[in-house]
Amino acid sequence: MKFEDKRTAIIGSFINRFTIGFLISVTVLPMYGWTKGVLIGLLISLPDALITKAYLPIIVLGVIGGAIIGGFIG
């Protein structure tokens, strides 16, 4: 994808991924760790995927990253 300001896009992506990890660690849900990670990763990644129309890479990375972080924390 082409962005006018790549630095801003990279910072935004970092903040998004950091938020996924942070929310997985502080959220209490009645489910196992990796499933909580998948759910939070999907919900946090979905707005960015809709805005950029790059659904597959953004959602897949959010879900896989969420599952890994949730598995370590859970």
pLDDT in tens, 9-65: 889 889 988 999 999 989 988 988 899 999 999 999 999 899 888 899 999 999 999
Give the type of residue at 38: V
Structural domain that includes position 34: 30-74
Output the CA angle 9-14-17, nearest 5 degrees: 125
Predicted local distance difference test score (pLDDT) of residue 13: 85
H runs (alpha helix) in the chain: 6-26, 33-52, 55-73
> Has residue 1 got a pLDDT over 70?
no
Residue 44 lies in a domain: yes
Residue 6 lies in a domain: no
Residue 60 lies in a domain: yes
pTM higher than 0.75: yes
66 confidence band (pLDDT: 50, 70, 90):
very high
Q: What is the CA radius of gyration of the chain?
A: 13
Q: CA-to-CA distance for 8 and 46, rounded, in angstroms?
A: 19
Predicted local distance difference test score (pLDDT) of residue 9: 83
Cβ–Cβ contacts within 10 Å for residue 48, how many?
A: 16
State how many domains the chain has.
Answer: 1
